[in-house]
Amino acid sequence: MSSIGYESWAVDLADVGPIYPFQGSEMLMVALGVIFWLGWHRIQFVRESEHLKRAKQRALDHEKVQQSVERY
């Protein structure tokens, strides 16, 4: 029993194909990957929106803004 389909390398390499674990479940792995990717965008978008909203309110302090502008 081996997750990659080979328990030893006593093989003719001409007969060897994929050597990654859980062959046959590629579609499931891709689906998980796509969920991770889209979920990342969603989380980042929500966090950035909140950040900018808070930053906009704080930026009403003109003295702070002036310091930032002069910092260049």
Partner 1 sequence: MDGNLNALTTVFTEFYYWVTVVFMFLIHVGFCMYEVGASRRRNHMHTLMKNVMVIPLVTVTFFFFGWWIYWAFPMFPFFGGLDHEMGSGNLPWAQSMGPNAADRITGVFWAAFLLFSWTAASIVSGAVIERIRSSALWVHAVLIGSVWWIIDAAWGWHYDGWMVKFLGYHDAYASGVIHAIAGGYALGVIAVLGPRIGKFAKDGTPRDIPPHNPWMLTIGIFLIYTGFWGFYAACNVPVISPEGIGGQITGTTWTATNIYLAPTSLSGITFNFLMSLSGGLMAAYLVSKGDAFWTFSGGLAGVITASAGNDLYHPVQAMLIAAVGVVIVYRLHFWVERRFKLDDAVGAVAVHGYAGFVGLIIAGFVLWGAPSSPYEGYATVNPLGQFIGAMIMFFGLGFLPAFAVSKIQAAMGVLRIPEEVELEGLDYAEHHAYEEAKEAIIEADKAHLAAKLTPAE
**Which residues sit at the interface with partner 1, rule CB under 8 A?**
13-14, 16-20, 23, 26-27, 29-30, 33-34, 37, 41, 44-45, 48-49, 51-52, 55-56, 58-60, 64-65, 68-69, 71-72
First to last CA, the chain: 63
Q: Helix or strand or coil: residue 41?
A: helix
The CA distances from residue 32 to 12, 23, 25, 28, 54, in Å, are 34, 15, 11, 6, 33
Choose between 1 and 63: whose C-beta lies nearer to partner 1.
Answer: 63
For the bound state, the minimum distance from the C-beta of residue 47 to partner 1, rounded and expressed in Å, comes to: 9
For the bound state, the minimum distance from the C-beta of residue 29 to partner 1, rounded and expressed in Å, comes to: 7
For the bound state, the minimum distance from the C-beta of residue 6 to partner 1, rounded and expressed in Å, comes to: 10
